[in-house]
Structure 1
Amino acid sequence: MNEHYIQEIINEWNPIEIEPLVDDEYSFEIEEINNFISQQKKELTITSLRDKINEVFIKEFERFFTKNDESLDIAKKIMKKLSDL
């Protein structure tokens, strides 16, 4: 999947509420998520993607990010974009 689509979705979400947000602010996290998607291929599920999103953001921003329902919505948006490509 093109990282550009993931970047659009993650930046719109802006889970750490960084202002002003630079386009590549979450580039490391986006790369991690993209790699996970590529590795999972046909086994990718919304819940596994949600769990990976939570894992990546907790690892990088543990003091500023907690698991929440928004990551499930983000996983759904990414999965929808995957199916549209």
Structure 2
Amino acid sequence: IQALRRVDWLDDAPVALTAQHRMAGIVLYASLFEPDIDRIDLRHLPDSHHDGPIFLNVLRYMDLPQAVTMAAERSRVRLYQENDS
């Protein structure tokens, strides 16, 4: 994300992140540490860190639903589950 922002002609381009399954959790947390993410599309996000992604000690403080809430305060978040298209 940071490398793309350094490209001159991409300066003002909106940033949208898309991922599925365990990588959806990684993208979710990446969005918390990067400013100005316009949209996050998460497909088949695990219900909990018990199902992945694995981050040491994160469950002492929060789980994936709380991370989604934090991301939604800064970006548009779309969740797609099994029966969604």
Structure 1 and Structure 2 fold alike (TM over 0.5): no
Q: Which has the higher helix share?
A: 1
Q: TM-score, normalised by structure 1?
A: 0.29
- Give the structure, 1 or 2, with the largest relative contact order (CA under 8 Å, sep 6 or more): 1
Q: TM-score, normalised by structure 2?
A: 0.29
